[in-house]
Structure 1
Amino acid sequence: MGGEVATLIGSGAVIALGLTTRLMSRRGRPGMGEILLELAKGRAAAASERERRATTVEILDRLPHGGRVDEVDEGGRQRIYEVAPLSKRTRGKGGRR
């Protein structure tokens, strides 16, 4: 039921956006096609980020204690993930840091 409602609301939002842009369309303002293209790019980027995070979690779960992952994305941002060595882990809290 929740998915159907979200789909209906999303479809209604796209229709309202289309009507708004059509009423306000003048030179220099984006058209419906450009808005939908940007919407699609945003959704694709969000899906890609979710997949990257899920993959990172999967890799970290498989690393041995003291392991390390260096990640550099296409924008040049570097991320470093380290799994604490067994001797340095705090007892009783659980989970990896």
Structure 2
Amino acid sequence: MVTTGAVFALGLTMRLMSRRGHTGLGEILLELARARSAAASERERRATTVEILDRLPHGGRVDEVDDSGRQRTYEVTPARARSRRKGGRQ
């Protein structure tokens, strides 16, 4: 959690920087909100992926492609192969 003192210090720093033509407090707060939203979205994606993998039968596979085009593949290994390794997911 951000304390009142930290918000005050951030505001003061941004005010001084904006006088020199740098980014203002509004832009920084907007970027902070975007970053928090992206982090929350990523946590939700990961939680959903884990939920799906827990429900798949052994040998099942999930292919994901995100908005940037990055592809991920998750496989649930069969029970025999899983017993030799630490964990059941690859």
* TM-score class, shorter: 0.7 to 0.9
Match among 5, 11, 14 for residue 18 of structure 1 = 11
Residue segments in structure 1 that go unaligned for 5+ positions in a row: 1-5
What is the RMSD of the two structures over their aligned residues, measured on CA atoms?
1.8
**Cα separation, 1, equivalents of 2:33 and 2:8:** 15
Match status 1:38 vs 2:38: no
Counterpart residue identity of residue 39, structure 1: L
Counterpart position of 1:89: 82
Normalising by the residue count of structure 1, what TM-score does the alignment of the two structures yield? Answer: 0.80
**Cα separation, 1, equivalents of 2:64 and 2:79:** 23
Normalising by the residue count of structure 2, what TM-score does the alignment of the two structures yield? Answer: 0.86
Match among 42, 45, 60 for residue 49 of structure 1 = 42
Answer whether contact 2:65 2:71 (CA < 8 A) is retained.
yes
Cα deviation for residue 26 of structure 1 reads 2.8
Q: List structure 1 segments (4+ residues) > 3 angstroms apart after TM superposition.
A: none
**Cα separation, 2, equivalents of 1:44 and 1:14:** 19
Percent identical among aligned pairs is: 74
Cα deviation for residue 89 of structure 1 reads 2.2
Cα deviation for residue 27 of structure 1 reads 5.0
**Cα separation, 1, equivalents of 2:52 and 2:68:** 22
